[in-house]
Structure 1
Amino acid sequence: MPVISVPYAFNEEELYVDLRSIFGHSLYLKCEGFNFAGSIKLKAATEMVETAERDGVLTPKSILVESSSGNLGVALSMIAASKGYQFLCVTDARGNLSTRLMMEALGSQVHVIADQEANGGFLGARIEYIRALCASDDRYVWLSQYTNPSNWKAHYRTTAPEIARQFPRLDVLFVGAGTTGTLMGCARYFREWHRPVRIIAVDSVGSVSFGGPPGRRMIPGLGMSMRPPLLDETYVDEVIRVEEADTIRTCHRLARRGFLLGGSTGTVVSGASDWLARHDARELTAVAIGPDLGERYLDTIYHTNWLEDIYGKDVLNSREVHAGSWDSDAPVARWRRRLDLQTGDLNGDQHHQLQDRKT
């Protein structure tokens, strides 16, 4: 049995679910949520922190800061708690309440950006906030998951070889696209492998990662409101874009079979299932990477009021839910107010008290 002394030392690497009985196609889902951080982001977080330590960028006096919609924030919170660092996560109003509470339980501070940009996103505002913070105090260390090569190197070293060991005849790999760290690490690895593997990126409708118009996205995780700096499209064979309503229906379909999985996983599975249904996949070995589990989405994609507020009462039955068919500002405002009432918000100066409370 494994015996560990630090929480980031454990990660289940070899758990796959064959989804044939649910979707009618052989699709092996690599479940990456079985670690103490609850998602695949543990791999990138560990690699980025350890690289920063080796390079001397991160010292005992440093205060870690990162922009995250949730999962990386939890992973960094766990690592920071274990290693004795202070950590400030800059997130936005779309983040799951349970994720924020988890980071705070681990001793981290959370700053929520509430004002959306013209393109409907929050990322630019989150990054500007961090840049101003780092300019004001050199103790802040921004790992920058969006540009840090350790993000993709983590998956080149771990995720891709894990899949290769279990599926030596792999034909097609479906990978969700957020920062594109997982996508680039796996794509680079399999480009060098002994046989061709088709790499299919799965993105959310409304994301601009691979071009196209920006749109409202309410499910945190996949998708970006800017082109990911780590992305090199020459490694990607195809891109699938998934409507959020399809993500929700897929998550509920999996849950009705006992698999409570996260929004990012639901997006990847939805895109992969649709692709397999449109192709002759009988002889293909197909794997999809499932980044997260579903507990952190209980107050969003598994919450009836949230679904009805944003997508209407028929979202689980109808395939005719279109972006822009609802008031795009109201859902964020309503759920932002609910989050504030439940947990309170950091005011503009509280992050400056972070080091005083922990030193």
Structure 2
Amino acid sequence: MPVISAPHAFNEGRLYIDLRSIFGRSLYLKCEGFNFAGSIKLKAANEMVETAEREGVLTPDSILVESSSGNLGVALSMIAASKGYRFLCVTDSRCNLSTRLLMEALGSEVHIIADLDANGGFLGRRLDYVRALCASDDRYVWLSQYTNPGNWRAHYRTTAPEIAQEFPRLDVLFVGAGTTGTLMGCARYFRERRRPVRIIAVDSVGSVSFGGKPGRRMIPGLGMSMRPPLLDESYVDEVIRVEEVDTIRACHRLARRGFLFGGSTGTVVSGAMDWLARHDTRGLTAVAIAPDLGERYLDTIYQANWLQGLYGDDLLDSEEVTTGPRGAEPLPRTPGRRPKPQEGTA
């Protein structure tokens, strides 16, 4: 029986879902949302905070500050509350309302950036605000998830070994690309041990992490509006880009079978299934990492008016959309005002 005294001391890392019965192809989904922060970001947050404490960067008078689209902000809010630090999360208008409220419930302050930067995203503005804040008061400590090696080290030490232990004959690993901490940590682990694992990065269309033109992205989590400083493409075998409509369809298809996951997970699953459909998978062992759960997306990905306003009626008519029990008639849609789209990238 686990007994803990701090919320970050618990994290279930051995739960996998076999998606064959849902998608018709074998894929083991590693579920990383079963902790008190609700996402894989707990690992990076804990690693970065503990390193800063060991190095004397964090003191009792410090105020943690970080730029986050949501999940890392929640993880840091939880850790800060547990350890007695003040925390300010700098996010943007795409951050889910439930995520903002959760951070505030944990005692954190949330600052929302609403202006787009020169690249058509919010990240540049968020980082400018954090830099100005740190320059104004030396009590602020910025962990900088985008450049902090503790971000990838967390997954080198935990996520990758967990997968390797359960799947000694792993062939393909699908990892979502945001800051690329999870991607780089796992890729480095398998490369250094000379394991013949094919590393597939899954990114969002509109992200510029691996090059290309920036585009509108409304689902927070994966993707960047700048090249991730932690990224080393020599460790990546292939990149798959997923349209947001396909992210949403994957989320709803999972929900129709009782598995409520977040947008990052929907993106990874959609990209993985696309790759598996184009390759000979006989005898292939494939794993994908599910970074988050779906409760924080109830007012976006799982909300009919939000979907209609941004993506139109055709998406809602898809069989993957959650309309009721399998085999039942679609539930009537709730009338309401469609939200005005807000463009931007994480």
In the alignment, is residue 291 of structure 1 matched against residue 301 of structure 2?
no
SS at match of 1:332: coil
Q: Which amino acid aligns with 2:248?
A: I
The SS at the match of 1:314 is: helix
Which residue, out of 326, 332, 339, partners 2:342? Answer: 332
Does residue 274 of the first structure (1) align with residue 292 of the second (2)?
no
**Partners of 2:198 and 2:237 within 8 A in 1:** yes
CA distance in 2, matches of 1:241, 1:120: 19
The corresponding residue for 1:169 is: 169
Separation (CA, whole Å) in 2 of partners of 1:42 and 1:129 = 24
Where does residue 207 of structure 1 map in the other structure? 207
Take 2:317 and 2:196, find their aligned partners in 1: how far apart are those partners?
Answer: 38
- Distance in structure 2 (CA, Å) of the matches to 1:239 and 1:283: 22
| Partner residue, 1:351 | none
Which residue of 1 is the match for residue 149 of structure 2?
149
The answer for the alignment partner of 2:2 in structure 1 is 2
Q: Which residue of 2 aligns with 1:310?
A: 310
For residues 310 and 257 of structure 2, what CA distance do their matches in structure 1 show?
Answer: 25
- 8 Å Cα contact 2:205/2:215 also seen in 1: yes
> Paired residues, what number?
324
- The question of 1:139 aligning with 2:139 is answered yes
In structure 2, what is the equivalent of residue 354 of structure 1?
Answer: none
Given that 2:119 and 2:214 are in contact with CA atoms closer than 8 Å, whether structure 1 keeps it comes out as yes
The separation in 2 between residues aligned to 1:316 and 1:22, in whole angstroms, is 19
Q: What letter is aligned with 1:332?
A: Q
Q: 2: CA distance between counterparts of 1:223 and 1:282?
A: 31
**CA deviation string 1:175-199 (max 9, x = no partner):** 0000000000000001022531000
8 Å contact kept, 2:47–2:151: yes
Q: 1:248 touches 1:316 (CA, 8 Å); kept in 2?
A: no
User: What amino acid does structure 2 have at the position aligned with 1:271?
Assistant: G
Equivalence for 1:22: 22
3-state SS of the aligned residue for 2:121?
coil
RMSD over aligned Cα atoms: 1.2
Give the partner amino acid of 1:231: L
CA contact (8 A) 2:178 2:203 kept: yes
User: 2:123 & 2:318 partners in 1: Cα distance?
Assistant: 31
**Which has the higher mean CA deviation after the structures are superposed, 274-283 or 163-172?**
274-283
Q: What stretches of structure 1 move > 6 A for 4+ residues in a row?
A: none
1:4-47 CA-to-partner distances (Å, cap 9, x unmatched) read 00000000010000000111111000000000000000000000
CA shift digits 1:106-164 (9 cap, x unpaired): 00000000011232210000000000000000000000000000000000000000000
**Partner residue of 1:344?**
none
Q: Distance in 2 between matches of 1:306 and 1:330?
A: 9
Q: CA deviation at 1:318?
A: 5.9
Equivalent residue for 1:11? 11
What is the match of residue 251 of structure 1?
A: 251
TM-score by length of 1: 0.89
In the TM superposition, what is the alpha-carbon distance from 1:315 to its structure 2 partner?
A: 1.3
Cα deviations by residue, 1:303-322 (Å, 9 ceiling, x for unpaired): 01110111111114469xxx
Does the residue aligned with 1:154 lie in a helix, a strand or coil?
helix
Between stretches 276-285 and 61-70, larger displacement belongs to 276-285
Q: Provide the rounded CA distance (Å) in 1 between the counterparts of 2:317 and 2:47.
A: 42
- Give 2:300's aligned amino acid: T
Contact 2:13-2:32 at 8 Å conserved across structures: yes
The secondary structure found in structure 2 opposite 1:175 is strand
The 1-side partners of 2:226 and 2:239 are apart by 16
TM-score by length of 2: 0.92
Equivalence for 1:36: 36
Per-residue displacement from partner, 1:208-252 (whole Å, max 9, x unpaired)?
A: 000000000000000000000000000000000000000000000
Give the match for residue 189 of structure 2.
Answer: 189
Check whether the contact 1:92–1:114 (CA below 8 A) recurs between aligned residues.
yes
Percent sequence identity over matched residues? Answer: 85
Residue in 2 that maps onto 1:74: 74
Residue in 2 aligned with 1:57? 57
Partner in structure 2 of residue 324 of structure 1: none
Query: SS where residue 52 of structure 1 aligns?
Result: helix
User: Which amino acid is the alignment partner of residue 57 of structure 2?
Assistant: V
Specify the alignment match of 2:326 in structure 1: none
Cross-structure match for 1:130: 130
**Does the CA contact (< 8 Å) of 1:249 and 1:316 recur in 2?**
no
Show the 5 A alignment for 1:80-91.
80-91=80-91
Amino acid at match of 1:331: P
Q: Where does structure 1 lack aligned partners over 5 or more consecutive residues?
A: 320-328, 334-359
Question: Retained in 1: the 8 A contact 2:308–2:316?
Answer: no
Q: 2-side partners of 1:17 and 1:318: how far apart?
A: 24
Runs of at least 5 residues in structure 2 that lack an aligned partner in the other structure = 320-338
Q: Distance in 1 between matches of 2:143 and 2:194?
A: 34
- 1:108: which partner in 2? 108
Q: Does 1:262 align with 2:272?
A: no
